[in-house]
Structure 1
Amino acid sequence: MKHRKTLPPLEKKMRVQEPAPTPAQKKKNKPKVLRLLDHDEALSTLCAYWPALFSKDEVKLLALHIFGDLHQAQIDRNLPLSGKQLRRCIKTYVLSPAYLHATQAGATRYGIDGRPAGQVTEKEQAWAEKQLAKSAAQANAAVTEGQA
């Protein structure tokens, strides 16, 4: 039996260790970018499939949690519209300034068939006002950047 020569232990390489990143450094939150469509394009798409609920002349407030009903109707009717496209159309419609201005406490909400389905609460009105202020601030920031 042959004996192997044993080698001397390797010296550990001296590494300069950087301090562990803090939680704030670990997670750099990217700003959320809403993927919205052109308002007219979204509205015309929605009007084509649900004319009782969507109109180019009148802003109707949507019933709470209506996306599920619209999505189910889209599947049942085999519409040439993906779930992502539907979601973006609804998001574009709901975040439009006209819709947000119409979101006043006590205003009527409508279901998928165009019939009344609830009312807007004060909390929902406050949310709409917050969204309007947020979009106005973003518009001001864009104008300020354009001037710089």
Structure 2
Amino acid sequence: MRRQLQTAKNRKAIKRLGCKERRIVHYWNHVISKRIVQFAEQTGATTIKLERLKGIRQMKRHWKRSDRNIHSWSFFDLEKKIQYKAEQKGLIVEYVDPYKTSQQCFRCGNVKRTNRRGSLFQCSCGYTKQADVNASFVISARPSIAG
């Protein structure tokens, strides 16, 4: 739709579309952050660990074409919403280094690019999990960095 509007040089409609996109992202960031904080509360957690995503935009050249939609997402906005909602509930937010969290094995610590194949994580030690679940375990076990 944006491409069609740009071809037609309809700047007013492009601006309106941009405002709509921002409202949608803002809404979903509220929903996601609320669910994360509620989950932490329900499980009795005292700390929420997040990857320090500063500089993620520079990774754009390494992303596959289908992953480029993530470039338009507001990570900082989501991070700040999680932070203030967690503080309201008395939870601590800590940050970890995101380097190779999706390629590291939670069980043995082995880091290989071939460990992750799409949505499945398989390590040579025999550990198999859904890739995002494994990465979340790795994040939870990593030491916090200054954030």
The structure richer in helix per residue is 2
Larger Rg: 1
Structure 1 length normalisation: TM-score? 0.30
The structure richer in strand per residue is 2
